[in-house]
Amino acid sequence: MYAFNYHRPDSLEAAIGLLRTCEDGLFLAGGQTLLQSLRQRLAQPSDLIDLGALPELSGIRREGDQLVIGAMTRHAEVAASDLVRQSIPALAALAAGIGDAQVRNMGTLGGSIANNDPAADYPAGVLGLGATVVTSERELAADEFFTGMFETALEPGELIREVRFPIPRRAGYVKFAQPASRYALVGVMVAESAAGVRVAVTGAGPCVFRVPAMEQALAQDFQPQALDGIEVPADELNDDLHASAEYRAHLVGVLARRAVKAALAGL
């Protein structure tokens, strides 16, 4: 780790203002990816602006038919929240399955989606549930938020405030862990709501993506077998030490069926 200046502002405005004045500053949320990069000397920011003291960024609340989760809410809080477990149990289960206990106690929703790791769980949750990302500047639909591998629509200096999840009729998230890291080798979120069915896949490609063919089939018949015969092309999927693109494509089908089953079971 190289030396850097550390700041812990107590307001959103101060945080954004600090970043503007720094030479090469970075926001620090839960730090579960950033601190590792620093320790491995893969990043050398001049300043870290810790968002841990901004009360407006955390908390979980229900607003009408939406579940609103503050950007700095830790995974463990989401996993344990009665509100989340009652309104979107699949989201609580997703959070409970991220990393290990230490990661869940530090890692945050906003940090995870801002980083947009191709194997992270939350992008599938946000995209699959059709959530809206509220930033310091604007509101972004999940479909426009995730733009590529480790890339999002966030502009420099733009901070995520909260994520608004429409509460679905039913949803299920199932992931298959990469054996070593236990990140999602493939993870699939399936959600059915009045607006239709959404299927979002993480881990398999360079960025979380939806599978329209599956969504259409499930809209007709929300049953696992409705997905039989629907294949995800392997061409653009990740191919690495742990899984070929073909295996990942196959797992998308398997896990989507299991996610439907989980949704039907109300898990």
Residues that bind another protein (CB under 8 A): 1-2, 40, 176, 179-181, 241-244, 247, 250-251, 254
Length of the chain: 267
Token couple for 118: 């191709």
Q: CA-to-CA distance for 162 and 134, rounded, in angstroms?
A: 5
CA distance 56 to 52: 10
Distance CA 52, CA 178 (A): 30
For residue 35, the minimal CB distance to another protein (Å) is 15
Closer by beta carbon to another protein, 167 or else 254: 254
Shortest separation between residue 249's beta carbon and another protein, angstroms: 12
CB of 176 to another protein, least distance (A): 6
Per DSSP, what are the bridge partners of residue 198?
Answer: 191
Q: Are 15 and 9 in contact (CB under 8 A)?
A: yes
Looking at the Cβ atoms of 156 and 233, the one nearer to another protein is 233
Helix 89-96 to helix 245-265 angle, to the nearest 10 degrees? 130
Contact criterion met (CB below 8 Å) for 145 and 71? no
In angstroms, what is the minimal distance from the CB of 254 to another protein? 5
Q: Which residue, 150 or 247, is less far from another protein as judged by CB?
A: 247
d(CA 80, CA 250): 32
Residue among 198 and 258 whose Cβ is closer to another protein: 258
CB of 33 to another protein, least distance (A): 11
Considering the complex, state which of residue 40 and residue 220 has its C-beta at the smaller distance from another protein: 40
